[in-house]
Amino acid sequence: MHLSSETPSRPVPRIAICGRPNVGKSTLFNRLVGRRLALVHDLPGVTRDHKEAWTEIVGRRVIVIDTAGMEYAPEESLPGRMRASTSTAIASADLLLLLFDARAGLLPQDREVAMWLRKSGKPVLVVANKAEGQSHVGSALEAHALGLGEPVIISAEHNEGVSDLLSLIAERLPEPDATCELSSQKPMPIAILGRPNAGKSTLLNRLIGSRRAITGPEPGLTRDSISA
């Protein structure tokens, strides 16, 4: 459907999954979108560029965004560039999920992430992950102290508490807009392929006119495929 510039249309709601490294953000992303789109591994710093995908939450079309783990680091370092990418994703989102590891309890790094998210002024939902079998509920409840409301206790990997999370997300989405309809015309996908360090990410950024992909002299920077 073509909308004239006088018809304000509200874009599809965007939900960004944020947190320190290795708390299960990509696992939750894959769970919410129902496909294994994002790389998951038991090492901090696996996700580098943010990644987004469409899904449906309680009958609403939404875009879910997986982000790189946030941590303090100099701007030009790789973790610094990852945080800049995450900041762009946060700026584009309507709702932020602050994920932490309930087994580890609330760490100082989680509090730092909470501070960054609060600064964005966006609504935040706190999610305690890795709490399968209702384990670690006590440490999950510590997150009350963040002042961001009651944490939702889940296990992304074992699909526990995820339906409660979906209902809470749905309650926080902006009002649907009748003018917001999806076009039946699909854009033509173009894939950029090449050996490491050939300049694929730089070309992508150039084509879309934004710093969507992390670039730099290091070969093998991009891990997940990125679409834009």
Residues in contact with ligand GTP by the rule CB under 6 A:
19, 21-27, 40-42, 44-47, 69, 129-130, 132, 155-158
Q: Which of ligand GTP, Mg ion, none sits in contact with 41, Cβ below 5 to 8 A by type?
A: ligand GTP
**Choice between 46 and 127, CB closer to Mg ion:** 46
Query: Which amino acid appears at position 32 of this protein?
Result: L
Q: Which residues contact Mg ion (rule: CB under 5 A)?
A: 25-26, 46-47
**Choice between 21 and 174, CB closer to ligand GTP:** 21
Query: Kind and range of the H or E element at 119?
Result: helix 108-120
Q: Which of ligand GTP, Mg ion, none sits in contact with 21, Cβ below 5 to 8 A by type?
A: ligand GTP
**Choice between 44 and 176, CB closer to ligand GTP:** 44
Q: Which of ligand GTP, Mg ion, none sits in contact with 85, Cβ below 5 to 8 A by type?
A: none
Instruction: Quote the least distance from Cβ 40 to Mg ion, whole Å.
Output: 7
Query: Kind and range of the H or E element at 205?
Result: helix 200-208
Q: Which of ligand GTP, Mg ion, none sits in contact with 42, Cβ below 5 to 8 A by type?
A: ligand GTP
Q: How many other C-beta atoms are found inside a 10 Å radius of the C-beta of residue 92? A: 14
Instruction: Quote the least distance from Cβ 9 to Mg ion, whole Å.
Output: 31
**Choice between 47 and 155, CB closer to Mg ion:** 47
Angle, CA of 10, 11 and 17, to the nearest 5°: 130
Instruction: Quote the least distance from Cβ 11 to ligand GTP, whole Å.
Output: 25
Residue 218, burial from CB neighbour count under 10 angstroms (0-12, 13-18, 19+): exposed
Partners of 14 in beta bridges: 63
The encoded tokens of residue 90 equal: 């946060």
The dihedrals phi and psi of 75, each to the nearest 5 degrees, come to -50, -40
The dihedrals phi and psi of 48, each to the nearest 5 degrees, come to -115, -65
Instruction: Quote the least distance from Cβ 154 to ligand GTP, whole Å.
Output: 7
Q: How many other C-beta atoms are found inside a 10 Å radius of the C-beta of residue 207? A: 12
Q: Which of ligand GTP, Mg ion, none sits in contact with 129, Cβ below 5 to 8 A by type?
A: ligand GTP
In this structure, are strands 95-101 and 124-129 parallel, antiparallel, or unpaired? parallel
Angle, CA of 166, 43 and 63, to the nearest 5°: 30
Instruction: Quote the least distance from Cβ 71 to ligand GTP, whole Å.
Output: 9
What is the spatial distance between Cα 124 and Cα 53, in angstroms, rounded to a whole number?
20
Residue with nearest beta carbon to Mg ion: 47
Instruction: Quote the least distance from Cβ 94 to ligand GTP, whole Å.
Output: 21
